[in-house]
């Protein structure tokens, strides 16, 4: 795939919550899994990646506590299926710190 343009919180703000747009499993059809991510900055700005249109938006994550922001992440990626349908990125967890 191609990288979209960078999205950033305004100066002095931190990313505090996010959600993913994920396509549900389609059985025999080509599954895409996570297609886009949106995030909220500590000042309320909304950032939205230019992902694919497939899937539906999930719920917003719990926000970081006041004064904290995202400082780490963990991803869930499907292993190669060897002839099966590979999805790639399936989920993201973001970690808060102050």
Cβ neighbours, 10 Å, residue 64: 21
Q: Looking at the domain assignment, is residue 91 inside a domain?
A: yes
Let me know: does 70 contact 94? Beta carbons within 8 Å: yes
In the block, residue with structure tokens 């993913």: 20
Q: Looking at the domain assignment, is residue 10 inside a domain?
A: no
Taking the C-alpha atoms of residue 77 and residue 38, their distance in angstroms, rounded to an integer, is 19
Q: What is the pLDDT of residues 42-95, one digit of tens each?
A: 999 999 987 777 788 999 999 999 999 999 999 888 776 766 666 677 788 899
- Domain of 78, CATH number, reads 2.100.10.20
Q: Looking at the domain assignment, is residue 4 inside a domain?
A: no
pTM above 0.85, yes or no: no
């Amino acid at each position: 795939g191609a990288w979209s343009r960078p999205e950033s919180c305004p100066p002095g703000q931190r990313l505090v919550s996010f959600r993913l747009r994920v396509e549900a499993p389609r059985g025999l059809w080509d599954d895409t899994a996570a297609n886009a991510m949106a995030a909220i900055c500590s000042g309320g700005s909304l950032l939205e990646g230019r992902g694919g249109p497939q899937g539906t938006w999930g719920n917003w994550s719990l926000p970081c506590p006041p004064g904290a922001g995202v400082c780490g992440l963990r991803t869930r990626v499907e292993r190669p299926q060897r002839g099966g349908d590979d999805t790639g990125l399936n989920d993201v967890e973001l970690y808060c710190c102050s």
